[in-house]
Amino acid sequence: MLSRSLLLALAWSSIAVAFTSSACASGAAAPIDGSRLAAVDKDEPGSWLAHGRTWSDQRFSPLDQISTANVSGLGLAWSYELDVRRGQESTPLMADGVLYFSTSWSKVVALDARDGHLLWEFDPKVPGRAGFRACCDVVNRGVALWGDKVYVGTVDGRLIALNRETGQLVWSVTTTDPSKPYTITGAPRVANGKVFIGNGGAEYGVRGYVSAYDAQTGRRVWRFYTVPGNPKGGENSRAMRLATPTWHGRWWQFGGGGTVWDSMSVDPELNLLYVGVGNGVPWRQAIRSPGGGDNLFLSSIVALNADTGRYIWHYQTTPGDNWDFDATQNMVLAELRIQGKRRKVLMQANKNGFFYVLDRKSGEFLSAKNFVDVRWATGIDANTHRPIEVPAARYSDKPFVNLPSAFAAHNWHPMAYSPQTGWVYIPVMEIPFKYAADKDFQYRPGAWNLGVDMMAGALPDDMDARRKLRPQLKGRLIAWDPVAQREMWRVDHGGPANGGVLATAGGLVFQGTGQSRFAAYGARDGKKLWEFATQTGVIAPPITYSIDGEQYVAVLAGWGGGYAVISPFVGPGSGDMLTPRRMLVFRLGGTARLPPDTTVERPRPQLAEENWPAESVARGKRLFYKNCAVCHGDAAVGGRVIPDLRYSALLSSPQAWQAVVIGGALTSHGMVSFRRWLNEKDAQDVRAYVAGESKRLFRDMDREAVSR
């Protein structure tokens, strides 16, 4: 006979079971907190709760149902069509059966992770004019989860908390000065009840910082500035006492730069928040800080007390940055055995071409080695731990063609680390860039302010010469041993701007490409084991999750980001192609299909014959590179993300062109009025230049068609 207490216990456990299952069915999920995140590997290996899956930011999943042995049987489970045509860079999160992710214009979507049906969506209604301030497309790299909320940063500088179940707005705070060209494209991070958010804008002219907000209320808890303000302002923290002597001139007038626009990592045991700090503004140091100096904390990894924002340590990867070498690439936290000792390390494959291993408790430099060809430095000095610079690389007297470049050796596309192999998997790019001082530079508040002549490295006019450049622009996936600091294998892709990386316990590495493919490789040998045609370039990082014993792999597909905006060497062909943007989810034996590929060339404009004086075209070209190229592409080629100007019907109407460029008729799409920077004659000269480029493109396409 059962005792009364045992009966009671049984009754309670069945109530608990009933409660748990009904809670799951109704979507009322357990809150996400520090203990749930800390136990994710043990308790719920099928979840993906934080940006890099766990606090370690390794982007490694212990799931192994999909493995080297069976990945050839991977198929599409479902796909979800997005209502945007801009770049997709978000890392989805998966908690309690729901897939949460952000899309272009800082929108948020929640889907049922099993079948992709829409649970809710949220549109922060970012005003179109804010898009003008985003140098590298109106992308967003993801949301954060904490408690019963979802957090997202918006292009116009807001941090927003949503109800996880309904997508309803809970609170919204403005984190930036709306009068300055700040943007947010990075994902918030959360720990210990605080949401951390940075911002971007260092190509335009802002002062970088990272802030912490109370996750429950949205109240600001602390803010850390990455560069000093005007010394007369009386800031007297330890960080600013360190940084101020490393600057000269009147840098605060430009803001200084140093934005924390993407990567942050948290070590909850050490209570440290690591932030990756971006480049200075202007890029050219001779303008920003005449007389040089290290310009702390530009291009640095900085460790802060996560509770107070107090400075703990820093390591500057590029002292006195002159090349846009942001230190904003993702940071992986791991334990490595280095010279016989287990060390808690932080690893970063930096934009400057060197792979860094630091002790993440003390900030001690452990090792660094170039993972691509590097021209600007010959190595890292073993004693000072500073780069050994090649003097000519500073392009003070004459231009310097550098590798890596502002586009990267490695950019925001996250790398992954597999504790199984002990290797890091890095999406690598090789894009040379000709740095030349802008001799006529004048600071223009709110505008593109590099101090570098963008026209110096312009595409050649001759289309065949243009085509010959393509093989010089490389992209590959490499496996890197961070202890030995050497490459273990490489896979060459057809070009740069490929996706972020996922590593799994199934012995696999997943990555999408700019060539519209999504593939799985063997983690030990780099052998391609599976591939899927995505109909559009994939730059986002994939994730994996499991529900009811079924493992899924998810990735957002859709061209965009800085390189796709500016370069013609993205994807096949040339010209304006509007391709879809989708969430793609795969499982073993998946049989779903994408709709037929309907990508077509946009109709060509009928251009009136106008006789432009050569002087007008040449002048228009100079103005184009100074004002327009950042969004509309080198030689007006940008057609994968933003409508290709060479197809614009506006080209044949001086009045319509004027209404847009000066009148701001397309402000709601992000094309603001350039009245502050261009007059009417300037605008018409730009039209002359673009019309010439339009004719050049269609002549070439017709010639190519005949020769085929």
User: CA 266 to CA 631: how far, in whole Å?
Assistant: 33
Confirm or reject binding of residue 246 to Ca ion (CB under 5 A): no
**Closer residue to Ca ion (CB): 294 or 326:** 326
Report how many residues bind Ca ion under the rule CB under 5 A: 3
**Closer residue to Ca ion (CB): 279 or 289:** 279
CB of 203 to Ca ion, least distance (A): 6
Segment contacting Ca ion by CB under 5 A, of 322-330, 331-339, 434-442, 600-608: 322-330
Segment contacting Ca ion by CB under 5 A, of 208-216, 273-281, 386-394, 511-519: 273-281
Q: Are 207 and 229 in contact (CB under 8 A)?
A: yes
**Closer residue to Ca ion (CB): 89 or 324:** 324
Segment contacting Ca ion by CB under 5 A, of 9-17, 226-234, 283-291, 316-324: 316-324
Exposed/middle/buried for 43, CB within 10 Å: 0-12, 13-18, 19+? exposed
Confirm or reject binding of residue 279 to Ca ion (CB under 5 A): yes
Pairing outcome for strands 543-547 and 550-557: antiparallel
Residues in Cβ contact with 598 at an 8 Å cutoff, skipping those fewer than 6 apart: none
**Closer residue to Ca ion (CB): 74 or 629:** 629
Sheet holding 517-522, edge to edge: 60-61, 501-504, 508-513, 517-522, 528-533
Segment contacting Ca ion by CB under 5 A, of 279-287, 393-401, 469-477, 634-642: 279-287
The encoded tokens of residue 456 equal: 């110096």
Dihedral (Cα; 516, 522, 526, 530), 10-degree rounding = -30
**Closer residue to Ca ion (CB): 279 or 348:** 279
Segment contacting Ca ion by CB under 5 A, of 47-55, 239-247, 318-326, 639-647: 318-326
CB of 278 to Ca ion, least distance (A): 5
Q: Which of 324, 438, 453, 644 is catalytic?
A: 324
**Closer residue to Ca ion (CB): 162 or 452:** 452
**Closer residue to Ca ion (CB): 326 or 430:** 326
Q: Are 618 and 692 in contact (CB under 8 A)?
A: no
CB of 249 to Ca ion, least distance (A): 20
394-410 b/e with 16+ CB inside 10 Å = b? bbeeeebebbbbbbbbb
* 324 phi, psi to nearest 5 deg: 70, 40
**Closer residue to Ca ion (CB): 452 or 697:** 452
**Closer residue to Ca ion (CB): 319 or 590:** 319
Nearest CA-CA partner of 570 in 485, 498, 509: 498
512-551 b/e with 16+ CB inside 10 Å = b? bbbbbbbbbbbbbebeebbebebbbbbbbbbbbbbbeebb
Q: Are 511 and 542 in contact (CB under 8 A)?
A: yes
User: CA 135 to CA 622: how far, in whole Å?
Assistant: 19
Residues in Cβ contact with 494 at an 8 Å cutoff, skipping those fewer than 6 apart: 475, 513, 514, 515
For the chain, the straight-line distance linking the first and the last C-alpha, in angstroms and rounded, comes to 88
CB of 118 to Ca ion, least distance (A): 35
∠ CA(495), CA(416), CA(200), 5° rounding?
75
Segment contacting Ca ion by CB under 5 A, of 101-109, 166-174, 278-286, 301-309: 278-286
3-class DSSP state for residue 13?
helix
Query: What totals of helices (H) and strands (E) does the chain contain, helices first?
Result: 11, 37
Going from the C-alpha of 179 to that of each of 156, 183, 228, 316, 368, the distances in angstroms are 11, 11, 20, 30, 40
User: CA 331 to CA 346: how far, in whole Å?
Assistant: 6
**Closer residue to Ca ion (CB): 406 or 660:** 406
HSE at residue 196, side-chain half, CA atoms within 13 A, is 27
3-class DSSP state for residue 510?
strand
Q: Is 685 a catalytic residue?
A: no
Confirm or reject binding of residue 326 to Ca ion (CB under 5 A): yes
User: CA 22 to CA 190: how far, in whole Å?
Assistant: 28
Binding to Ca ion (CB under 5 A) within 403-462 occurs at none
Active site residues: 324
Q: Which residues bind Ca ion (CB under 5 A)?
A: 279, 324, 326
